[in-house]
Amino acid sequence: MVNQTNKNLLESKIIQRLDLSDLMLKLWISKPENYSFKPGQYCTIGVDGIERAYSIASSPDENSLELFVELVEQGELSPIIWKMKVGDKLTLRPKAKGIFQIKDTNYNYYLLICTVTGIVPYVSYVRYFLNNNSSNMKFHILQGSSYMDELGYSEELMTISKDYPDFVTYQPTISRPKDIRNEEWNGKTGRVNTIAENYINQKQFNIDNTIVYACGNPDMIIDIKEKLGQNKGFTVLEERFWK
């Protein structure tokens, strides 16, 4: 039972759940009437007064809020979420927040670098601008993870990149290729920050036509800001996700 002690909190409920592994799941929750957000923002959900912010993978024109949740065993909320099922209720703060948005659409290229759940705001960008792109902007998405089962949106992004190659390029990479969990992986290997540095050297990117976004592991972001920001002069926007 959700304890809605704050009268300003909205009520939502789980309408779909997809378990990707023992540690990763996708959650779709109902979107209250008049609830609005911009691509790249996050919502704050709660159960019994325990709250956590999650970036929204949905496009604003979708009818539900899609979240990509990682189980943090010592965390406060994610272990509770893991026990929840379709129909269970939770609270939702009335306003989405976050400034990790695409406000300047004048760049030609958007290099979007992330680790694991850091992909979520980029999924929202892609879904939204796929139908609302009035410029020549192109997304280059580089996602890193330790294990292939952490790449929760790889199939969707691969499909979009094949169908709309002038709009999206998606490159996932695995940092532990010899682990048994990755025995079926035949894609690129290595840390995403290393891949990003090599990637940018191969493309026609410069500080005037390209902006860099980095989302996820703070150490990755620090490295990207140094190598691409300080050393090469690119504008780097960041959002840090960590356990």
Q: Say if CB 168 and CB 141 are below 8 A apart.
A: yes
125: three-class secondary structure by DSSP:
helix
Classified as helix, coil or strand, 12 is strand
At residue 25, does pLDDT exceed 50? yes
Instruction: Tell me the average pLDDT across 14-33.
Output: 98
Least confident of 128-142, 145-159, 162-176, 216-230: 128-142
The answer on pLDDT for 5 being more than 60 is no
What band does 144 get if pLDDT is binned at 50, 70 and 90? very high
Record: fold of 109-240: Rossmann fold (3.40.50)
Q: Where are the domains of the chain?
A: 10-92, 109-240
Evaluate if residue 241 carries a pLDDT over 70.
no
DSSP three-state, residue 70: strand
Q: What is the pLDDT of residue 1?
A: 45
Closest CA to 112 of 134, 138, 135: 138
Listed in sequence order, the DSSP H helices in 91-203 are: 120-132, 154-163, 192-202
Q: According to the model, what pLDDT value does residue 196 have?
A: 96
6 falls in which pLDDT band (50, 70, 90)? low
pLDDT tens digit string along 42-76? 999 999 999 999 999 999 999 999 999 999 999 99
CATH 1.10.1040.10 fits 10-92, yes or no: no
Mind listing the pLDDT tens digit for each residue in 86-130? 999 999 999 999 999 999 999 999 999 999 999 999 999 999 999
- For 11, residues 6+ apart whose C-beta sits below 8 A from its C-beta are 2, 4, 32, 89, 90, 91, 92
State the pLDDT confidence band at 243, using cuts at 50, 70 and 90.
Answer: very low
pLDDT (tens digit, 9 = 90+) per residue, 149-195?
Answer: 999 999 999 999 999 999 999 999 999 999 999 999 999 999 999 99
